[in-house]
Chains A and B, each alone.
Chain A
């Protein structure tokens, strides 16, 4: 159909139905490959490999073979891949299956592309596919990954039009690069000015889409935090107003686990808000947390949080500080979140209401631990003394702090405290809370992070800082007890990596200090954090704040369009007519060539004196490079002829002389 239309439409249409040259094909192929590349990280292999394979097969095929799939077969393939996508994801309308399908279609489209109008469509599709990677991740890395592909999109567009102008490849590459760079400021302006959409276009909650989740969870079983600790991923970043907390004050409070089923600790749903501000003393600290999408319905704050934090970049998220001082969100955090929080650096607080009975609940398991607790109880009437006794006991007995604890049986706490005695923080916290409860003291497990690394003004908290500790209700206060610190005090003072320096389960790389690598990592984190703050977090709220700062309350669409056009026109004026060119006439071609020669000779420390004539300069050069006498003299002859000969004769004379100089210059390529 397109064909017939094209043929009736004269010269323009014939250009569209023109067969692509093999070079254009190659450029297109690279464009498609580069656009597919970022998605390799997000798509299953069975899907991404054939997509790339289709493009490679076409690229590798000899031009005369004209590799292409018959149209009938293409339809069958497309249907098959649609079915395959459906079976893989279970549905077809969603972010992942749609991207996967588009990814495959692009491969098919390229395989059947032979004409210019196919190619234009393909280029548009490439640009769109390139966009889809940001549905998954908006990291700086993703942005960098898309730059070569964007450049090749431009190059393909140029290559398509080139047949009409006969530009050589080098010029094409240069011009595209220049256009690319010239377009950058406009792109940046568009980013800042065009109204931001505050929600992802596919409808927000992406957590159902098979997103890998790292981080704390609502349940804690022996070994779960240990496995989390092996990840070096950034959990969140914090900027402090004023002095950051000291190492032993860096307790980041997360889920509070009150429930216990004999093996796992878990969150007991509690909808009660903290009725009053918890009563506590200590240094007050203000800070801003930047939390990547965690897909969990809670936030983290320094112990002890005073009130529910205020989200900076998302005004729709409901945040609650519940009675257990766990910060809940109404919906899981599915996009990067920045929030401001205030805490008191203190290890105890007086709750508004006394603890409920759930904090005393134990199971019938672990008889040995229970009897040990009761034994301590008989010795100490005071709850505080009893808690300290248990800690001392942990400290005295040969417990070992390790990431790789052995497996535990049904009576996991008994197994741990009497048999294996090797465990990670969750073992100690869990056992401690169990024993306190057995002795009749209300207690609960608190999970979160302990530690953090300062990096140029902000703190990085990693998954490897994940931690669990205990809270006991003693003398009307919830007090923090960290039984891990009783076993391995350096865990709190120096962090998990130091405490586990010689632990065999950690990889070699994380055990050895490589200062250069570490500082490079920190630098990269700094850049990433800046990207997060300046680009990702630039949402409608911040945009409006920017307009307000400029004195515009709420710019109308028309205003933005007019401002954009004006800015683009101004920019075009600047780049199309550089000021230097306004003043100076363009160099004659011969002069240009001559400057090339001068540059070449200058590279060997050979330069024309200002008052020296061209002839004597070249004669000097001839003495230095006698083997190049002929070309050198020929260049100066052509130059003279081009620059000084009468104009009346051949109008192309100058150009011819410049060409001669150019070709002779090529002979001088490698002067020694």
Chain B
């Protein structure tokens, strides 16, 4: 018998969403997707130009959920040790001591991930998948929750190492923030400084709360008709790949991600069951980057699928 959250508890989720909304203006859907990714235990890839609020998003999440966060700016000379950490010889103790890198945190903002060489990228990706890092033959467990928000800059194509599709699969969700609409922009320009807001933001949730909600998200029910629909969508992406319209069909792992995302999305909306509209709401963000290597290229394809595959 699954444990059911009370209406009182659900209010906590609502207040997280509303606080996020008040910090990042005019992006309610993207915020919900980001929060859902966190609830689903996945990682988030943001494809966007600088200055549209990627950092603000990550920081807002961290501040609202009471998470410790770190930021790493990826460059072409960044080494794996710069992320994971390094063993330093402690002269006083006559032994090596592991100096934890920025990855040992709850929320890691990996800025411009595609600028780093593949070796460094894969160090991060291993940590994302395995929830542990290895340095000098020793494995170190990462804490929970562990949430990576990576950004890719799609405009500068010089001197970048674009993530291969197989690696992109590690990101549960990719979103695009985009420029705010004029009303929201006016509010940003005229209102209080975001940084000030972030500094003053009180956490609405504790880490324990977040882990509880992550557990709850797993318990959201997906009925057979929903699974039918998900399978139909997966099959359609594979057909598309066969027809040469996109790079790759969705893997079963992607399917699992999609289900997890649907569950988190449903939970976010106070439901104990996944509805077809949940699938539709998250599908493009889960599928696009996997199908075409980037959100930009994949979005029209995944949208087409949503508009053609039969619901129920």
Contact = CB atoms under 8 A, between A and B. Distances in A.
Interface stretch (B12-20, B67-75, B270-278): B270-278
Contact of A646 (B273, B275, B306, B311): B273
Contact of A644 (B225, B307, B309): B225
Contacts of A641: 273
Nearest to A613: B277
B311 A640 contact: no
B311 A645 contact: no
A645 B280 contact: no
A611 B303 CA distance: 11
A628 interface: no
A614 B276 contact: yes
Interface of B: 1-2, 221-223, 225-226, 272-277, 280, 306-312
A58 B222 CA distance: 60
Contact of A611 (B221, B223, B311): B311
B2, B272, B312 pick with most chain A CB within 10 angstroms: B312
A616 B277 contact: yes
A611 B310 contact: yes
A645 B221 contact: yes
A217 to B, nearest CB: 78
A629 B270 CA distance: 22
B85 to A, nearest CB: 43
Nearest to A640: B275
A390 B308 CA distance: 95
B223 A645 contact: yes
A613 B311 contact: yes
Contacts of B312: 614, 643
A455 interface: no
Contact of B276 (A613, A646, A647, A648): A613
A644 B277 contact: no
A410 interface: no
A610 interface: yes
A598 to B, nearest CB: 11
B75 to A, nearest CB: 44
A646 B277 contact: no
A615 B281 CA distance: 12
A641 B2 CA distance: 16
A425 B277 CA distance: 90
Contacts of A646: 2, 221, 223, 272-273
Nearest to A649: B1
Contacts of B309: 611
Interface residues of A, number: 15
Contacts of B225: 643-644
B272, B275, B309 pick with most chain A CB within 10 angstroms: B275
A610 B311 contact: yes
Given A610-B310, A644-B225, A645-B221, A615 B277 contact: yes
Contact of B273 (A610, A611, A615, A644): A644
6 contacts: A613-B276, A613-B311, A644-B222, A644-B273, A644-B275, A645-B273
Contacts of B307: 611
Contacts of B277: 613-616
A163 to B, nearest CB: 39
B273 A640 contact: yes
Interface of A: 610-616, 640-641, 643-648
A614 B311 contact: yes
- Please provide the 7 A-B residue pairs with the shortest distance between their CB atoms, ordered closest to farther: A646-B221, A613-B277, A644-B223, A644-B273, A610-B310, A613-B276, A615-B277
Contacts, number: 50
Contacts of B306: 611
Contact of A613 (B222, B280, B308): B280
A105 B283 CA distance: 76
A614 B312 CA distance: 9
A614 to B, nearest CB: 7
Contacts of B274: 644
A54 B238 CA distance: 77
A613, A614, A643, A644 pick with most chain B CB within 10 angstroms: A644
A592 to B, nearest CB: 13
A648 B1 contact: yes
Given A613-B275, A613-B277, A616-B277, A644 B226 contact: yes
A647 B2 CA distance: 11
A644 B308 contact: no
Contacts of B221: 644-647
Contacts of B276: 613-614
Contact of A612 (B272, B275, B311): B311
B177 to A, nearest CB: 25
Nearest to B274: A644
A648 B312 CA distance: 22
B225 to A, nearest CB: 6
Nearest to B307: A611
B117 to A, nearest CB: 42
A126 B282 CA distance: 68
B280 A643 contact: no
A614, A641, A643 pick with most chain B CB within 10 angstroms: A643
A46 to B, nearest CB: 68
Contacts of A616: 277
B2 A611 contact: no
Contacts of B222: 644
Nearest to B280: A613
B269 to A, nearest CB: 11
A647 B222 CA distance: 10
A571 to B, nearest CB: 35
A647 to B, nearest CB: 8
Contacts of A614: 275-277, 311-312
Nearest to B309: A611
Contacts of A612: 311
Contacts of A611: 306-311
B2, B223, B226, B306 pick with most chain A CB within 10 angstroms: B223
B4 to A, nearest CB: 10
Nearest to B226: A644
B279 to A, nearest CB: 9
A615 B311 CA distance: 11
A611, A615, A643 pick with most chain B CB within 10 angstroms: A611
A632 to B, nearest CB: 16
Given A613-B311, A643-B225, A644-B226, 15 more contacts: A611-B306, A611-B309, A611-B310, A614-B276, A614-B311, A614-B312, A640-B275, A644-B222, A644-B223, A644-B225, A644-B273, A646-B223, A646-B273, A647-B223, A648-B2
Contacts of A640: 273, 275
A233 to B, nearest CB: 64
A647 B309 CA distance: 26
A616 B277 CA distance: 8
Nearest to A615: B277
A92 B47 CA distance: 104
A460 to B, nearest CB: 60
Contacts of A613: 275-277, 280, 311
A262 to B, nearest CB: 95
A641 B272 CA distance: 10
Contacts of A643: 223, 225, 312
B108 to A, nearest CB: 35
A614 B221 CA distance: 18
Nearest to B223: A644
Contacts of A644: 221-223, 225-226, 273-275
Nearest to A612: B311
A351 B1 CA distance: 108
A644 B222 CA distance: 7
Nearest to A616: B277
B226, B308, B309, B311 pick with most chain A CB within 10 angstroms: B311
Contacts of A615: 275, 277
A112 B272 CA distance: 62
A643 B276 CA distance: 11
Nearest to A617: B311
Contacts of A647: 221, 223
A570 to B, nearest CB: 36
Contacts of A610: 308, 310-311
